Structure formats: C-alpha cells, structure tokens
Structure 1
C-alpha cells in the first residue's frame, strides 16, 4: 500500500501565531474604530479648534533674545501640521499598550495562557507574533492618518515616505517593548490598566504631542528626549514638516530601538504563562 506525501504546507509557528493575532483584530469591530476612526475624529476636532494656530493667553507676549525665533514660529508649518505627527505617535503608543499589553493580561486572567504552557509553543514566537501583528496594522494606520491629513487639511509630506515608514515601524517596536514588559507577569487587568496609565501619562504630558515640549524648563529636555514618544514625534515632524533626511534623527531612532529591544528582551526573560 503506497502513501502519497502530504501536500499541506507547514508554516513557521511565528507565521501561524501572527495570522491568529490578525484574525483576532479583524473580528473585533471596536478595535477597528479605535485604531482607524477615532484618531481621525480627534484630528478633525483639534484641527477645527486650532485652525489658526494655538492661541496665547490674553496679555501674554513671547519674548526671545535678539536673533532667536520662538519655537514653532515657522510660518510654513501650521498647527495641524504640527499636530498630526503627534497624534500618530499617541495612537501608536496607545495601540501597542492597550492592544498588546492589556490583551495579554486578559488572556492570562482567562487562563488561556495556562493552556498554551502545555503546548510546544515557544514564548519568543508568541510574544513576537503580537509585535508583528501590531506592526502590520499600525503601518496601515499611519498611512491612513497621513492620507486623511493630506485630503482634509492639505498636509504636505516634505520628506521621504519610506523614511516615514521606517520611523512608524521603529516607533511600533519602541512601544511594543514596554507593553510586553508590563504584561509579562501581571495577572489582573485592573493592575495592568494602572501600570499602563503610569507608563503613558508622563509621555502624554511631556513628549510634545499637542504642544512643543521646549516650553518646559531646559533642564528637563535631555530626559524628555529619552522618552520613546518624544523620539517618535520629533522624527515624524522633522520628516513630514521639514523634509529632514532620516539620518538627521539617528539619536531618536536609537532611543526607539533601545526601548523596543530592551523591553522585549526583559519581557521575554520574566514572562510567565500563568
């Protein structure tokens, strides 16, 4: 009795796990709204509110030394041009923290990870699948937001589109590391929510998504630039608003890579299934 060789294609475990993560996203209409629709609504609201630029307080005046222009005084860069890269950075951060970190903790709470522990699944493949799936969606999200800004607000991308894509990919990696780290051992979704808010809140305030972080005292600027959201915002604004080459933001790219790789390796070391 002869047997025919199987025609089934044996895929790499990482491919199958990533496919499962993508299907989970596509089956959740709420996730589509928060990833693609909500940032556009926020851009419309803030774009209308600040269409003429951010307003100063009555009776206040910006005073600069002779020959020095105030930050954000470039007449060719409108507030909406400044805002959209910041919204992209915020959305990438939120999508990674909640879409990856919270889901991992929820899976552990529902004992799903405990079931995975008795399979030959490699934890490296499992954690990487979350990161790769998020990369796929966030690249589409960044493209959608930029296209939306171009069509609705006349946003002009002055730099290289491939360079913008590199920053978007590296930004996703940067936030994936902390997201996986927060979720690596946390068992309660309430505790996870607290930790994720603790991680994100300083960047919401300090990283210059809605206003230039140089308004803060100069002594804190070096620390602010070490935050991954600051690095992503600065890189995107340099590329989109000023046409900078990618290499001009090499230090920011290194900051993002360090957060992503360092966070992932540490999460991999301390991760537990149950």
Structure 2
C-alpha cells in the first residue's frame, strides 16, 4: 500500500510540474488558445460571402438594354474582360461558362460545347435575345480536373513545410542544446552557417519535390502543359523564399514550443489564404490583396500557370520577381537577426 501511495504521489508531482511548466510558457499557452480562434475567423472571412453563382460570364464592353436582361438573371455572375485571349482560354478550360461581346452587332459569344452549364446558359441567352440572334463561337477544350488543379498546391505545401520546419525548428533545437554555441567557437561565421543551411535544405527540398512530382505523374498522369524546367525554376525560387522565412523564425528563438507556434502562425495562414485546396476568388478583395504578400501564393500562381495553361517563365515573371524580392529581403533580415546563443 505504501508503494502504491508513493507511486501516486510521484505521478501527481510529475503531472503538476508538467502542467505548471506549460502554463508558465506564455508563448505556447497563447498559441493553443488563440490559434483555433484565428483559424476559424480566417475561414469565416473567406466563406462568409454571397452564395456561389450558377453561371459565370465574362463580358466585353458595356451591356446594352437587350443584354442587360440576360446578365441580370439571378444566378448569373459577370466579370469584365481584361484580355480576350485569356478569357477564351478560360472558356476552353471550363473555368468560366461564357465570354460575351456586347459591342458587336449581332452580339457574339464564345461557348464550350462540352460544358453542360455552358449549354444551359446558351439556351438562356438565345431565349432572351430573340430580336437579333447572337453569333455563336465554339471553343473546344477539356476541363481541368480538380486533381490537376490541386496537385501544384500539394507540391507547394510540401515545399513550405519541409523548408519552414526543416530550417526553423532545426536551428532552434541546435541553439537550445548548445550545438550553435560550440560552432561559434570555431572559425565558422554566421553567414557561412546560414548559407550552408540554405544550400542543404534547398537540395533536399528540390530532390524530394521532384520525386513526388515524378511519382504523381506515374500514378495519376496529371496535366503538364508547360515545361518541367520552368517548373523547376519556380520550385527553386519558392524553396529559397520559404527557407529564408524559416531563418527569420529561427534567428533568435530559443524555445522549441515558441518556434513550433510561430511556424504554425506562418504556415497555416498561407494554407488558408494562398489557395492550396480551393480558390479564394470569392474572398473579399482586401483578403486577396493580403494573400499577395505570402510567398506560397506566388509559388502556386506560377506553378499552376505553367502546369495548367502552358505558360513560360516570361508569363509568370511577376510571381518570380516577387519570390526573388522576398528571398533577398528575408535572407538579409535573417542574417542580421541571427545569434548563436540565447544570450546573443
């Protein structure tokens, strides 16, 4: 009985000590309390808008009185056309249901005969414009499967987690167990150490992502309209940006719990806002603007343009320049903030 009592006392003391340790770690406690609220709030902001429209129509020109009745039909959402060729390509890929040019006489429209929603929308248009039948232009093209659309997101997500956690969490652990302190006693400089971490993780991330890419292509045969070399350039630039972000987190943090929380703070908003599993086209404009400050957004924009639309590096130069600028800024900041030991 005495042995059982002593065992229970040791158990209770250990439980109490671990609980107090967690409660006194304000960073870990705050993360566990605030993260669910932030995550739910983020999803609420993205999906709290109007219900999804039944049809999407891209419109060239100002609607006339004749076409206004069609465009104001409940369930029809319109958007202005920025580039006609791009809009026609979106019709071919069934990303929009119709392209409508209201400036021509008669009205001209582009439709994909293989899209059921487009066929229904065509009947509605012709029933509305009975006085002067519109001119039909058929655009052939297969739809983009969801697996084709989501695969770049899965690959980019792997790059993000491998880069952030591989560098950020690893360096914090080195600092906590004194490994960095021992390195500081050697001729190795901080810049050399950071560059070595960058090179090592970059090689591993690109290698693992390439293996995943080849394996998925062999298993499911996803769409790859562009150049694999162009996609590799995006992967390298995106990996550098993510590794640099991980170095920012690891520059001064000494607590593994705090590092874990900060890594989640950076990674989960990117998963939610960058469009890994779903498009955020229906999210508020300010939220879409915020997503442009996240490296994962530019990785996905460039990768999907290359894989789905056959774009080249020149067409995705905006995303590449953004990734390069983020990489340089984050690396400079990470190097300036880096310290070998908790004391400095």
TM-score (norm 1): 0.74
Partner Cα distance (1:171, 1:122) in 2: 26
Bigger radius of gyration among the two: 2
- The Cα shift of 1:61 comes to 4.8
Partner Cα distance (2:52, 2:252) in 1: 49
The answer to whether 1:207 aligns with 2:199 is: no
Whether the 8 Å contact between 1:173 and 1:261 is mirrored in structure 2 is: no
Q: 1:62 to 1:128 in 2, by over 3 A?
A: farther
Count of residue pairs brought into register by the alignment: 216
Whether the 8 Å contact between 2:172 and 2:250 is mirrored in structure 1 is: yes
Aligned-partner SS, 2:224: coil
Partner Cα distance (1:272, 1:226) in 2: 27
Partner Cα distance (2:186, 2:285) in 1: 52
Aligned-partner SS, 1:248: coil
Residues 89-131 of structure 1, C-alpha deviation per residue, up to 9 Å, x if partnerless? Answer: 1111100111010000000000110111111101111111111
Which residue, 243, 250, 253 being the options, matches 2:310?
A: 243
Aligned-partner SS, 1:64: strand
TM-score (norm 2): 0.59
- The Cα shift of 1:246 comes to 0.9
Partner Cα distance (1:260, 1:181) in 2: 11
Residue 167 of structure 2 corresponds to: 100
Residue 191 of structure 2 corresponds to: 124
- The Cα shift of 1:215 comes to 2.6
The answer to whether 1:188 aligns with 2:180 is: no
- The Cα shift of 1:223 comes to 2.3
In structure 1, stretches of 5+ residues that fail to align are 1-58
Aligned-partner SS, 1:239: helix
Whether the 8 Å contact between 1:175 and 1:259 is mirrored in structure 2 is: no
The structure in which a higher percent of residues are strand is: 2
Pick 1 or 2: higher relative contact order, CA cutoff 8 A, min separation 6.
Answer: 1
Partner Cα distance (2:177, 2:52) in 1: 55
Whether the 8 Å contact between 1:184 and 1:270 is mirrored in structure 2 is: yes
Partner Cα distance (2:201, 2:178) in 1: 23
RMSD: 2.0
Whether the 8 Å contact between 1:170 and 1:257 is mirrored in structure 2 is: yes
Residue 83 of structure 1 corresponds to: 150
The answer to whether 1:64 aligns with 2:56 is: yes
* Residue range with higher mean Cα deviation, 158-167 or 221-230: 221-230
Partner Cα distance (2:218, 2:295) in 1: 29
Partner Cα distance (2:280, 2:52) in 1: 19
- The Cα shift of 1:147 comes to 1.3
Whether the 8 Å contact between 2:273 and 2:288 is mirrored in structure 1 is: no
Partner Cα distance (1:184, 1:272) in 2: 6
Residue 149 of structure 1 corresponds to: 216
Partner Cα distance (1:131, 1:66) in 2: 44
- The Cα shift of 1:237 comes to 0.6
Q: 1:170 to 1:61 in 2, by over 3 A?
A: same
Partner Cα distance (1:88, 1:201) in 2: 16
- The Cα shift of 1:228 comes to 0.3
Partner Cα distance (2:248, 2:236) in 1: 19
In structure 2, stretches of 5+ residues that fail to align are 1-50, 60-77, 79-86, 96-141
